[in-house]
Amino acid sequence: MGYIAAGHSGLYGRIVNKKERRKSAANLAVRVYPKIDKTTQVALSFNEKYGPDKDNVDLSHLQEKLSVIGEELANRIEPEVN
């Protein structure tokens, strides 16, 4: 969650709030922010369901949910490194 939250609330938070002064960073964010936001929502949903503070968690769909979050992270990382 740390990696996901850092990107979402750091650079992208400045862009959403129109406080990013670097034009190149703002332009890049316009392209990748929708992917970042989707990944953040998927991760938050996963954490809400399977977080460490949850008791009696139904693990019958855990493998499927891990696969979804893995795919979303791969989709997120790709544009950030390119």
Res. 9 pLDDT band, cuts 50 70 90: low
| Mean pLDDT of the 10-25 span | 72
pLDDT value, residue 30: 75
Tokens of 39: 């990944």
61 or 73, higher pLDDT = 61
* pTM, to two decimals: 0.62
- The angle subtended at Cα 33 by Cα 53 and Cα 69, nearest 5°, is 40
Tell whether the model's pLDDT for residue 1 goes beyond 70: no
Encode pLDDT of 40-68 as tens digits.
Answer: 889 889 988 998 888 889 999 999 999 99
> What is the Cα Rg of the chain in Å?
15
| Nearest-10 Cα torsion for 28, 20, 16, 29 | 10
Q: What confidence score (pLDDT) does residue 64 get? A: 95
